[in-house]
Amino acid sequence: MQEYQLFIHGEWVGSSTNDTFDDTNPATLEKLATLQVASGDDITRAVRSAQETFTSWSETPPPKRAHILFKAARILEERKEELARLLTREMGKVISEARGDIQEAIDITLYAAGEGRRMFGETTTSELKNKFCMTILRPIGVIGMITPWNFPMAIPAWKVMPALVAGNTIVMKPASDTPLLTIRMVEVLMEAGLPPGVINLVFGPGSTVGRAIVHHPGIRAISFTGSLETGKWIVSECGKVMKRVSVELGGKNPILVMDDADLDLAVDGVIWGAFGTTGQRCTAASRVIVHTKVKDAFTDRLLVRTRALNLGDGLLPETDVGPVINQSQLDKIEHYARIGQDEGAVLLTGGHVADPGLPGYFFEPTIFTDVSQDMRIAREEIFGPVVALITVSGIDEAIEAANNTDYGLSSSIYTRDMTRAFRAIEKIDAGITYINSSTIGAEVHLPFGGVKGTGNGFREAGTDAVKEFTEVKAVYFDYSGKLQKAQID
Ligand code: NAP
């Protein structure tokens, strides 16, 4: 078992604390690695390294920066299977989904690399003669990145790759539950030719190391993905010093099942959306808003499929649902299962800690019905394999129920009626709406993010990917040779 130091200026260096923590497999509780915890001084060292490197990196032509990313994508492709197996061991998701996590990292690396020859500004007209107007994108500086554990490689890659191609340097803290895949990604980038100091890694709890990154005056912007609670705190701290901040937070994502839906397809979508990644996706389908006319038929089919799901070690091909990430997440899910029953919802299946014969953290796929919209299980993000069925009697009521949440990330509708589908597209308050497919399945060339409590207006990936990590400058080039006054001449 390896002990990891901190990665600063291209080298592994010892932390100045004596503290360490363990990275364990949530299915088997096998220890995978030990990591050193960074101190405030270590973080300052990492920030200095990123500051010192910024000039040379930001002056490197973007296509040359992109070349390193293209090379990194090739190495990731070669190592995909090995990385996916490590990801399952570290995070618990089933191996097919772990391969998807790595593939998403490869996809965003290639997409961001393509930006090296795009990163378009605009040219436009001027209200004055002999004057040329355009916009250019400039890197921000040192970016502090703080990531969660549920997509151990894809989420770090969504941030790192666009930030790099845009010319920024980075100090990054991965989630303490899943640091290894971030480490592997950085090793690949270094192998591909990234200069020392462009990316620096520090480890330790969010409550100390994460906070120190947020507060560090040398860090110009924070890019955070995680819970609403942490996100609110980070946004308010950054607001105090006018530090740029982008946050991608939680969801309470609905699937609407209308009375004209293909019910088997809708059941497929709910099984995948609610129990894929053991419900630990920001886009997980945690509410199913079903038309009263098809409620019984839909529920019967959903129950049969849910009860047939196999829990176990994600490396085994017969496993459908892996463990949850840690003991505190298991306790939280169990707590919500009790809250649901205390609130008067009807527990149809699941509701308990499961025992698939492994020492790790397993919870039964759980379905509540007769859930009313004011119940906590219908409003709060549980982040586990728990789904709440809510009954409605028409499209307008369904959309109203879908919008009755503090979050607004993903949403989905199953219907064969185009008018209903377009109503959902127009009226659901969410960053993403799927028609006849589940709430999960984002592709990297489309913008990803949400409204209301899900974020602060930024989008990751897609054409927005580099916007998160650049500043726009407006340029006025006056070649008239005389003083010209806009709005006055
Ligand atoms: P979290 O508890 O907020 O932690 C996320 C990251 O923030 C971890 O690295 C954590 O460090 C760190 N952190 C915790 N407190 C901090 C603080 N005060 N200051 C700075 N950093 C701090 O969230 P999580 O439980 O890991 O992740 C699950 C949440 O992420 C869910 O709400 C999910 O919906 C959301 N999520 C959103 C998206 C999206 O794109 N919208 C994608 C995936 C997940 P340690 O864990 O190491 O202590």
Calculate how far, in angstroms, residue 244's C-alpha sits from the geometric centre of ligand 1.
18
- Interval between CA 222 and ligand 1 midpoint (Å): 13
Handedness of CA 130, 133, 136, 140 (dihedral sign): positive
Question: Quick one: DSSP state of residue 195?
Answer: P
Band of pLDDT at residue 273, cut at 50, 70 and 90: very high
For residue 55, the surrounding DSSP H or E stretch is helix 40-59
Between the CA of 384 and the centroid of ligand 1 the distance, in Å, is: 15
pLDDT value of residue 18: 87
Residues 151-185 as b/e (b if ≥16 CB within 10 A, e otherwise) read bbbbbbbbbbbbbbbbbbbbbbbbbbbbbbbbbbb
Q: What are the E-state strand segments in 61-103?
A: none
pLDDT digits (tens, 9 = 90+) for 299-348: 999 999 999 999 999 999 999 999 999 999 999 999 999 999 999 999 99
> Residue 287: is its pLDDT beyond 80?
yes
Same domain, 273 and 403: yes
Cβ of 282 closer than 6 Å to ligand 1, yes or no, is: yes
Whether the CB of 225 sits within 6 Å of ligand 1 = yes
Q: Hey, CA dihedral for 149, 150, 151, 156, is it positive or negative?
A: negative
The answer to whether residue 133 is catalytic is no
Check whether residue 413 and residue 307 sit in a common domain. Answer: yes
User: Which of these, 31, 176, 172, 10, lies nearest to 89 by C-alpha position?
Assistant: 31
Read off the tokens for 82: 């090995």
Clarify whether residues 57 and 121 are in a common domain.
yes
Average pLDDT of 459-469? Answer: 94
410 and 310, same domain (yes or no): yes
What pLDDT was estimated at residue 14?
Answer: 97
Q: If phi over 0 gives left and psi between -120 and 50 gives alpha, with beta otherwise, what is residue 34? A: beta
Distance CA 137, CA 167 (A): 10
- What is the average pLDDT across 453-481? 96
Tokens of 37: 């915890």
Could you tell me if 325 and 273 lie in one domain? yes
Beta bridge partners of 247: 224
For ligand 1, whether the C-beta of 232 sits within 6 Å is no
The whole-angstrom separation of Cα 6 and Cα 15 is 6
| Domain presence at residue 224 | yes
Backbone angles phi, psi at 174, to 5 degrees: -75, 165
Tokens linked to 50: 């990123």
Q: Give how many domains the chain has, as a whole number.
A: 2
Q: Which of 136, 132, 184, 128 has its CA nearest to residue 156? A: 184
Report yes or no on 441 lying in a domain. Answer: no
How far apart CA 427 and CA 303 sit, in angstroms, is 30
Instruction: Name which residue sits closest to atom 13 of ligand 1, judged by CA.
Output: 206
Q: Which residues is 473 bridged to in the sheet?
A: 136
Same domain for 76 and 190, yes or no, is: yes
Cα distance between residue 315 and residue 338, in whole Å? 31
DSSP-based three-state secondary structure for 2:
strand
326 within a domain of the structure (yes/no): yes
248 is catalytic: yes
Place of tokens 């409550």: 207
Are 153 and 44 within one domain? yes
Q: What is the pLDDT of residue 323?
A: 98
Q: Which CATH number goes with the domain that contains 96? A: 3.40.605.10
Element (H, E) at 112: helix 95-115
Establish if 378 belongs to a structural domain: yes
Tens of pLDDT along 160-181? 999 999 999 999 999 999 999 9
Name the band, by pLDDT with cuts 50, 70 and 90, for residue 292.
Answer: very high
Spatial distance between the Cα atoms of 313 and 324, rounded to a whole number of angstroms: 11
Judge if the beta carbon of residue 226 lies within 6 A of ligand 1.
yes
Task: Please tell me whether residues 329 and 212 are part of one structural domain.
Answer: no
User: 116 and 68 share a domain?
Assistant: yes
Residues 265 and 216 in one domain: no
Cα of 406 from ligand 1 centre, angstroms = 18
Residue 153 DSSP code = T
Please report where in the chains the tokens 């930024």 appear, as a residue. 458
pLDDT 10s digits, 190-236: 999 999 999 999 999 999 999 999 999 999 999 999 999 999 999 99
Task: Look at residue 443 and tell me if it is in a domain.
Answer: no
Q: Which of 37, 90, 146 to mutate to test the pocket of ligand 1 (most atoms within 8 A of CB)?
A: 146
- Report, as an integer, the average pLDDT of 235-257: 98
Residues 6+ apart with CB under 8 A from 199: 7, 50, 160, 164, 169, 170, 172, 186, 189
Nearest to 405 by CA among 450, 460, 346: 450
Q: Is the domain of 210 the same as that of 337?
A: no
What mean pLDDT is predicted for residues 360-374? 98
CA 293 to chain centre: 36
Q: What pLDDT, in 10s, does the model give residues 11-32?
A: 999 999 989 999 999 999 999 9
For the CA of 175, the closest atom of ligand 1 is 9
* CATH number for 401: 3.40.309.10
Instruction: Please state, as a whole number, how many other Cβ atoms lie within 10 Å of the Cβ of residue 60.
Output: 16
Residue 448 lies in a domain: no
Q: Indicate whether 61 and 170 sit together in one domain.
A: yes
In angstroms, the CA 49 to CA 142 distance is 10
> Which residue has the least CA distance to atom 22 on ligand 1?
206
Provide the domain limits for residue 153.
Answer: 2-249+455-474
* From 115, 238, 282, 381, active-site residue: 282
Q: How confident is the model at residue 1 (pLDDT cuts 50, 70, 90)?
A: confident
Q: Which of 104, 248, 364, 381 is catalytic?
A: 248
